[in-house]
Structure 1
Amino acid sequence: MFGTYFRVGFYGSKFGDLDEQEFVYKEPAITKLAEISHRLEGFYGERFGEDQVEVIKDSNPVDKCKLDPNKAFIQITYVEPYFDTYEMKDRITYFDKNYNLRRFVYCTPFTLDGRAHGDLHEQFKRKTILTTSHAFPYIKTRINIIHKEEIISTPIEVAIEDMQKKTQELAFATHQDPADAKMLQMVLQGSVGTTVNQGPLEVAQVFLSEIPSDPKLYRHHNKLRLCFKDFTKRCEDALRKNKSLIGPDQKEYQRELERNYHRLKEALQPLINRKIPQLYKPVLQVNSHRDSFSRISLRKFDI
């Protein structure tokens, strides 16, 4: 019933008034990025000539100075509806989350040396939030973007978001009604499987093995530590749920998952139990003069 959304940017003098304009397109719910790319490339190819239209394959900011002035360029990016935390309290149902949509988001991974992807400790993420002039559903299937906001996430913030997402997936698969054993096992395998690249254990070893030297990272370090505590609890709940769903033919698979989980938990324990002492100091230092005054006041009440 509802749609899939894409950000479409037009670059080049051939587009006339559309040059450097950006829109959010609403497409049928099953539309893939390749489909809309092929359709728009074909549509504008007929107008300008097939060799005059080029689709920009990434979602990085476009530097128009680096583009061929004789060509028309289209940049297409998949976007999702974006909600602030306070909005989620009112957007509970599937309908709520697909109605009156004005803000959309897409994420672009990058590293400081220009590569899109790198090791965990150097992986940044640019989150771009778009605001449209009207809300979907609308009488038109594309709406102008009138505001753009960028938020840069540091590597440890990227790790926190990834762990929160994994934890939410586990919680959803565990409490899904009706239960879906295949989905649950797939999420479990991705969480506790021993062959998971850049999996939870590697994330913990990279970011939690040492207390950061920069005090500005203390809060992030502590937040990630608490994320892992929640994650291990959700893994345990998911394993218990899976045990109640499987038949006799999957008992060995269940035992293997449990062994992997216990190995993961054992390796995580020293990392997630280490607290940063500076975060647990008293917030207010009691003044000795005020303290003595308080004791005098208390004596008066005793009298």
Structure 2
Amino acid sequence: MFGTYFRVGFYGCHFGDLDEQEFVYKEPSITKLAEISHRLEEFYSERFEDDVVEIIKDSSPVDKSKLDPNKAYLQITYVEPYFDTYELKERITYFDKNYNLRTFMYCTPFTLDGRAHGDLHEQYKRKTILTTSHAFPYIKTRVNVIHKEEIILVPMEVAIEDMQKKTQELAFATNQDPADPKMLQMVLQGCVGTTVNQGPLEVAQVFLSDIPEDPKLFRHHNKLRLCFKDFTKRCEDALRKNKSLIGPDQREYHRELERNYHKLKEALGPLITRKIPQLYRPLPVQTVNSYGRSSFRKIEA
């Protein structure tokens, strides 16, 4: 029960020095977004006049020029502790991941035409990373944000993250101890089910059917292709584990999952075996001859 964290932004002259300031609030771990929103709205409504306080419903960047100067606005967003890859090597236990926290992150989906959600090929994501002045747990439950960084993910990068998340969920459900057959089947159904909208097959068809024209996307294309290879391997492991857990009454259901998996694997085959030739061109390698001079020769990557 270490806590749940929310980012709260204050906008409007009613807040005085708090105007345009952001804080991270630490709440009990069972706190929902609606609860803290209602509590803060009530608290500041008592301080100001009636109907002055408004909650900004989304987590997109706030344009102050579009706000009513006679109102006080609160923007409240659920945030999670954020760790760099090297930190995760040291933060192994549950306690490690909930102690000495100064960096938090939240994600905002968006499209270039202003909508929050769109088709796969137009779905972007904005990652906002916040750094606080002090680390949690702290003597106060509210700490101000001193640094903000934004990272924009293009649609193919969003697809890569989604596939990595699905693969991690599969691995967790497969290796869970003690095993949870219901959880495993639910995750499997979401991965290989034929009725899943914007499922793995659609992602592959959208992003891997053609080699991107922009050379900057070559690496992303190759990474997504490798993600799908890992994903299909995890599906196979999960099916093998599910077969060892089920009883006679679920054999037909398992056979249906296997049929769906083989259809998915067959459809993915041509998409995930295609390599981008530009990424596999011969590379020059430096060698030193008998006279001590450098020369180059080509080898296949």
Look up the SS of the partner of 1:105 in the other structure: strand
CA distance in 1 between partners of 2:291 and 2:220 (Å):
39
Report if the CA contact (8 A) 1:42-1:50 is conserved: no
Task: Name the residue aligned to 1:167.
Answer: 167
Look up the SS of the partner of 1:50 in the other structure: coil
Report if the CA contact (8 A) 1:103-1:132 is conserved: yes
The CA deviation at 1:247 is: 1.4
Report if the CA contact (8 A) 1:107-1:127 is conserved: yes
Task: Name the residue aligned to 1:90.
Answer: 90
Task: Name the residue aligned to 2:204.
Answer: 204
Look up the SS of the partner of 1:76 in the other structure: strand
Q: Residue type matched to 1:59 in 2?
A: S
Q: Residue type matched to 1:153 in 2?
A: L
- 2:288 maps to 1:284: no
Task: Name the residue aligned to 2:263.
Answer: 263
Task: Name the residue aligned to 1:176.
Answer: 176
1:129-278 → structure 2 map (5 Å cutoff): 129-278=129-278
Look up the SS of the partner of 2:284 in the other structure: coil
How many residue pairs get aligned? The number is: 292
Report if the CA contact (8 A) 1:207-1:221 is conserved: yes
- 2:106 maps to 1:106: yes
CA distance in 1 between partners of 2:16 and 2:286 (Å):
68
CA distance in 1 between partners of 2:27 and 2:150 (Å):
25
CA distance in 1 between partners of 2:286 and 2:51 (Å):
75
Report if the CA contact (8 A) 1:53-1:71 is conserved: yes
RMSD: 1.4
Task: Name the residue aligned to 2:55.
Answer: 55
Q: Residue type matched to 2:77 in 1?
A: T
Look up the SS of the partner of 1:116 in the other structure: coil
Q: Residue type matched to 2:25 in 1?
A: Y
CA distance in 1 between partners of 2:229 and 2:31 (Å):
38
Q: Give deviations 1:139-176, integer Å, cap 9, x for gaps.
A: 11110000000000000000001000100110011111
Look up the SS of the partner of 2:240 in the other structure: helix
Look up the SS of the partner of 1:51 in the other structure: coil
List gaps (5 residues or longer) in structure 2: 293-301
Report if the CA contact (8 A) 1:201-1:264 is conserved: yes
The CA deviation at 1:49 is: 2.8
Gap change, CA 1:243 and 1:56, over 3 Å in 2: same
The CA deviation at 1:292 is: 9.7
The CA deviation at 1:50 is: 3.4
List gaps (5 residues or longer) in structure 1: 295-303
Look up the SS of the partner of 1:195 in the other structure: coil
Task: Name the residue aligned to 2:25.
Answer: 25
CA distance in 2 between partners of 1:141 and 1:189 (Å):
41
CA distance in 2 between partners of 1:50 and 1:198 (Å):
44
Task: Name the residue aligned to 2:115.
Answer: 115
The CA deviation at 1:293 is: 7.5
Look up the SS of the partner of 2:55 in the other structure: strand
Q: Residue type matched to 2:206 in 1?
A: V
Q: Residue type matched to 2:65 in 1?
A: C
Look up the SS of the partner of 2:117 in the other structure: coil
Report if the CA contact (8 A) 1:184-1:238 is conserved: yes
Q: Give deviations 1:74-125, integer Å, cap 9, x for gaps.
A: 0000000000011110111111111110000000011111111111111110
Gap change, CA 1:278 and 1:292, over 3 Å in 2: farther
Moved over 4 A (4+): 290-294
Which one is further off, 139-148 or 243-252? 243-252
